[in-house]
Amino acid sequence: MRRIIDALRLRFEEGLSAREVGRSLGVARTTVQDYVVRFKASGIPWPLPPHVTEEVLEQALFKRGEFPPVLTRPLPDWALLQRELTRKGVTLQLLWQEYKNNEATGYCYSQFAVHYKCWLDRVDPVMRQTYKAGERAFVDYAGLTMDVVDPATGELQTAQIFVAALGASNYTYAEATWTQQGPDWIASHVRTVEYYGGAPEFFVPDNLKSGVTSPCYYEPALNLSYADFAAHYQSAIIPARVKHPRDKAKVETAVQIVEREILAPLRNQIFTSLAELNAAIRERLEILNNRPFQKLEGTRRQLFEEIERAALRPLPATRHEYGEWREAKVNIDHHISVERHFYSVPYQLVRETVSVRITATMLEVLHKGKRIAAHQKGSRRGAYTTDPSHRPKAHQKHLEWTPSRLVNWGKSIGPATGAVVEHMLESKPHPEQGYRACLGVFSLGKRHGNDRLENAAVRAQQTGAMTYRSLKSILDRSLDKTPLTEEAETRLPKVHENIRGSAYYTSDNSEAQLPLIPTPGVM
C-alpha cells in the first residue's frame, strides 16, 4: 500500500531528502521522487485540504494511462504507430529509431515503450497483443443462436453462429450453420477464407472437438480433417490454451460485437431457411465492417484493404473438399474394409496400417504420408473395388498368400474343408476376394477344432451352402455332431463360367504347408 501523505509530510515539513524519506518508510528513493513530481504536477496545495484523503490523493496522482504534465517532450502519433506495427518486419525498436531521427529531444527507448503501453491501456486493454498483418485469424462460435422456422411444419430449428476475426485489422466474418460438427466447422472456414480473399498463416480456434481431438497445454492433438483443411490452404492451426481466453481475445470481442450488432437487431425477424438467415447476417456484417472505429481512425474494411489483404496467402486453384480420416489394416487379399466396402491397395502393403481419407465421392489411401491408391467411393456393402495394377503377378511365387496355398491348407484339415475353400475361391471374380472368407474358415477351426470343422464342411457340401456363414451356423448350432445318413450324397456346386477348376491352383508351391494359423477377426 502506498504511503503518499507520509512521504510528502517528511519531504515538505521535515525537510528530509528523498533518500532519507525512503529509508524511513521502507521504499525506494526513486519512488519518493516520483511521488513528489506527481504531486507538484497535480496542482494540489500543501498542506492538503481536509477532503483530500490518501485514497483521493492516490487517484489524483496515479491516473491510468496518464503522465504528469511536466513531461512535455514530443510524442509520436500512437494510432499511426500501432498501424505500422501490424506490418511484417516492423518492430517497436525500428519505430523508435525513426521517431528519434525526427525528434532529437525525444525519449529514450525505455520511456518510449512505457508511453506506448500507457496509450494502449487508455485506448483498449485488449489491444495489448499486436498481430502482424496476415498472420492470424481467430475463430469461434457465438454463445447466442438463431431460430429458423420450417414453413411446412412450423418447427423451430436452431442455427449456430460461426465468427472469425483477423488479428491485425479486426476484419470480421460471421455466418449461420446447423451444427458445430466437423463438416459444418470446416465448411465455415472455407467460406471464411473465400470472404477474405486469402488465407492467414495461422488459425486460432478454441478447443472444440471439431478442431482439437485431445486438448493439451504443450501438444494438442488436432482433428485430422481440420489439419487437412489447413494444409490445403498452406496454413497452420494453433489452438488457444485451455482456460486462456486471452489467447483468442480478438474473436471473443468479435463474438460480442456480432451478438450486439448483428444478432440482437435480427432477434424479432422470422427466418424460414438458413440461406435467408445468412443473407440477413451478411447485410449487417457489411455495415459492421464499414462502421468507423470508436477509438481509432478508419474502419475494419479500410484497415483490411490497407494492410492485411495483400499479406494473406493466395487461395489455391481448387476449393477444399471435406474429408474424414480413418485408419485401416491391409488384409492378405490386399484390400481394406471401409464402411463394409472393400478397396484394393498395392499388394506389397499386406498387413500394413494405412490412412484413409473419405470424401463425398472419393476415397484416398495414404501410407507414411504418400498417396498409394485412389478409388471412386463405393456404396454397396460387401462389394469390391479393385485396381488391377494392385494385384500380384501370377509368376511371383515368392508371395506368402496364394490360392493354391489356401486350398492345400484346407486339405490339410480334411478333403471336405479343402473343397469348401476351393469353392470359395472359384466363386469370386478374383481369387483374392475370397481370401477373407477362407481366413474366416480357418479361424473357425481354431475356435471349434479341426475335426468339427471338417464335419461341418461335409454337411455344407451336402446342402450346397459352402460359405463361411453356413459353416459358422453349423458349428454354432452343433449340427456337425448330428450323425450323417449313409444315403446322403454330397451335392457338389454346379459348374459355371466363373469357376476355374482345381487345375487353376496347380503350381510349383502347391505342396507348401502354412506354418501359422491366421489371426481371426479379419472378416
452 and 419 in a single domain? The answer is: yes
Q: Do residue 146 and residue 178 come from a single domain?
A: yes
User: What is the chain's mean pLDDT, rounded?
Assistant: 79
Residues 337 and 360 in one domain: yes
Least confident piece of the model among 12-26, 95-109, 248-262, 509-523: 509-523
Cα 224 from chain centre? 6
pLDDT at residue number 124: 56
Range of lowest pLDDT (80-94, 121-135, 183-197, 453-467): 121-135
- pLDDT reading at 121 higher than 60: yes
Q: Note whether 457 and 419 are within 8 A (CB).
A: yes
In a domain, 230, yes or no: yes
Domain check: are 118 and 148 in the same one? no
Neighbouring C-alpha atoms within 13 Å toward the C-beta of 93: 1
**Pair 325, 355: CB distance under 8 Å:** yes
Which residues contact residue 291 at a Cβ distance below 8 angstroms, ignoring those fewer than 6 apart?
A: 261, 299, 300
DSSP 87: S
Candidates 295, 1, 285; CA nearest to 127 is: 295
Specify whether 100 is located in the same domain as 183.
no
Q: Is residue 522 part of a domain?
A: no
**One domain, residues 185 and 275:** yes
Classify residue 91: in a domain, yes or no: yes
Q: Is 184 a domain residue?
A: yes
Same domain, 103 and 201: no
Residue 329 belongs to a domain: yes
Q: Are residues 381 and 407 in the same domain?
A: no
Average pLDDT over residues 181-204: 92
CATH of the domain at 193: 3.30.420.10
Alpha carbon distance 50, 39 (integer Å): 16
Question: Do 205 and 294 fall within a single domain?
Answer: yes
Q: Which residue has the higher pLDDT, 292 or 91?
A: 292
CA dihedral 411, 412, 415, 420 (to 10 degrees): -50
Confidence of residue 433 (pLDDT cuts 50, 70, 90): low
Structural domain of 88: 78-128
Write out pLDDT tens, residues 66-117. Answer: 554 444 677 888 777 877 777 766 788 888 888 888 887 788 888 888 888 8
Total domains in the fold of the chain: 5
Q: What is the DSSP letter of 505?
A: G
Note whether residue 395 is domain-resident: no
- The 10s digit of each residue's pLDDT in 30-62 is 888 888 888 888 788 888 888 888 778 787 887
Do 284 and 228 belong to one domain?
yes
Last residue of a domain, which of 311, 339, 374?
311
Reported pTM: 0.52
Residue 12: what pLDDT? 83
Q: Which residue has the higher pLDDT, 89 or 361?
A: 361
Among 390, 417, 448, the domain-final residue is: 390
Contact by Cβ (8 Å): 434, 499? no
Q: What is the mean pLDDT of residues 456-465?
A: 83
Q: Is residue 110 part of a domain?
A: yes
User: Distance of alpha carbon 466 from its chain centroid, rounded?
Assistant: 48
Please check whether residues 281 and 176 belong to one and the same domain: yes
- Cell numbers for 45: 496545495
Residue 342, domain member (yes or no): yes
What burial class does residue 90 get, using C-beta atoms within 10 Å of its C-beta: 0-12 exposed, 13-18 middle, 19+ buried? middle
Q: Calculate the dihedral angle through the C-alpha atoms of 286, 287, 292, 293, rounding to the nearest 10 degrees.
A: -80
- Shared domain for 453 and 498, answered yes or no, is yes
Q: Which three cell numbers stand for residue 251?
A: 474473436
Q: What is the arithmetic mean of pLDDT over 334-352?
A: 88
Q: How far apart are the first and last CA of the chain?
A: 75
